[in-house]
Structure 1
Amino acid sequence: MDSGHTGRYRLSAAASPPRWEIGIYAAGALALLGIAAVNLWKLWRSGSYPAPSPFPNYDYRYLEQKYGTAYSDIKQKQRGAAAGSKPLPSRKASLRGADTCESINELGSLELMSRDLGLAPYGPLKKSVSADSLNSVSSIGNNFGQDFTVGQVEVSMEYDGKAAALHVTLLQGKDLLEKEDARFESCFMRISLLPAEQIVGISRIQRSAYAVAFDERFSIPLDPAALEEDSLRFSVFGIDEDERNVSTGVAELKLSDLDLTVRPFNAWLYLQDMNKTVDTVGEILLSLSYLPTAERLTVVVVKAKNLVWSNGKGTADPFVKVYLLQDGRKISKKKTAVKRDDTNPVFNEAMIFSVPAIVLQDLSLRVTVAECGEDGRADNTGHVLIGPAASGMGITHWNQMLATLRKPVSMWHPLRRN
């Protein structure tokens, strides 16, 4: 074929390319447009478009719809970012900035209900990893991860080192008996020292169990060494028509969890119905703190102990997942590293969530200890629910965090199967 014919063929092919080639180009263009549309839709759904949300865990439109005019501060931040003032970081940039080592170091020493945990042997805190997938099983019932509570009592304690005495004050109580239980006409509280189960105080009989003002003080002779070994048990007893005393609720505090030699302790304790408790599958030590100026919630997964593997397994590789929940919705999720074949793993990892202060009373944390299987699937060992909707230690821990803003407070929580 001469050069003239070749040139005319090339010109013809360029002017009218084959149909299959046109189909390929069209399909590619449609695919790119589809990808762009999906990404724009995801940005819109996440609340990061057309301007970034000041709280990367939240859709700002959802917050505005839920809280209305009370959300004015957050809306003002949003307008500032859209108007070109100091730009607010994007979702990924915010998470990276919040997870810096400097912000973790700001936590200071972790304390167990005002007692230094002494984590120096475990090294510095590590950053947990974010987990983008929120699709794991999470059916959360009304009593998910909760104890069965039958009321609460406010107590105060202080230790007198010179007199070697522990002073315990029963301040007040709420709903000490179930309202639908008409068997009991009155009630009283008893304080016992464990493990000897020595009775060290009995309150006056109360005719009303739903709003009780005790204001009773008991002094317990106690050597300083016993503060590391003993516990206090607070028990409420209902008195039936035959004048029999029936135990209806119990709360226990380990004195080793409280630094009573340094400062007094005051808290609401949630009484558990011991007839309805669920078997535990281990314990987990968690630290919580909230920094109001940065509106940042920090959860430190310290360690777990006495884990019981699921399905009777003899060994497993545990890790911890922490979900941020609001109105039954999973807002964010983070997880720790996997520990190999350890029923008492030490994680010592910090998880930092960006949380507006306005949602704190609607927020919950779901903490799950899971086992990493050989096939890559994770079996759940046990769960803890922490927040205002929880009960027992879950709500006690949350209230202590809110009462001591900026300061980490740690507690042990029993793990319960779902």
Structure 2
Amino acid sequence: EEEEEEDIDHLVKLHRQKLARSSMRSGSSMSTIGSMTSIYSEAGDFGNIFVTGKIAFSLKYEQQTQTLVIHVKECHQLAYADEAKKHSNPYVKTYLLPDKSRQGKRKTSIKRDTINPLYDETLRYEIPESLLAQRTLQFSVWHHGRFGRNTFLGEAEVQMDSWKLDKKLDHCLPLHRKISAESLTGLPSHKGELVVSLKYIPTSKLPVGGDRKKSKGGEGGELQVWIKEAKNLTAAKSGGTSDSFVKGYLLPMRNKASKRKTPVMKKTLNPHYNHTFVYNGVRLEDLQHMCLELTVWDREPLASNDFLGGVRLGVGT
């Protein structure tokens, strides 16, 4: 269940603070939040190589195991990572966008000193067909350099909603230079809205005998986060439903003490949670440096949970 924790920073985007004059102060505010994701680029050289070549592959979806099978055959006429020495050590990497977590990465082996590498390797993703149709398969080709300095050689994308997966057919796509993540039509696959209400109660207004936990530098107030409902979530299961729950952290704290979760709402894309997260010992001035992270997940009892979307809220949201 906890496998998704380490990669959430790669899946959710820092909510850009607007020039609003409101803040998390005493009183409640209702907001409807659109789900957002973040695509990041790996460390490496971009734009230094004139991209050439093609990638040959085949795709097939195995219904019985709910697995996308990618057969990476070969690449043709790649650019040299080192033009002077006519040298390249290429390998292929794949993601099912918008997931660019470590768990979502697949790689072929590295082929040495060639611009026409033959891989003949199979990469697999276990994913429900309903969710796969809302993803973009990204191929990227890289030169494996010394000291871990890799060089980008080109990429290609496949929009899975328009791809015929009932038969295994061979395909060949031209590689192109890196494009911005926002221009990929697969990005909005994490759709939906999350309706929440935030309320901060200062120490002076907490009921006598209430839970007044001390924070660093003195007593703190109470931050209440009411998770009301979600709307139009992505279907992660066959039959067009999801068993969703919301998880929250008050960043920069990311530990069990900071984690909050709603109950799981089964078989619905419009779940009503009606659940409140309570954070005690929070000083008003500390909120200037804190961020509330809310993520929505589809519960998978026998596998890692599927990420459905997320937001981060800070002062000024």
TM-score under structure 1 normalisation?
A: 0.31
Of Structure 1 and Structure 2, which has the larger fraction of its residues in helix? 1
Q: Tell me: higher relative CO, structure 1 or 2? Use CA pairs within 8 A at least 6 residues apart.
A: 2
TM superposition score normalised by structure 2? 0.40
- Bigger CA radius of gyration: 1
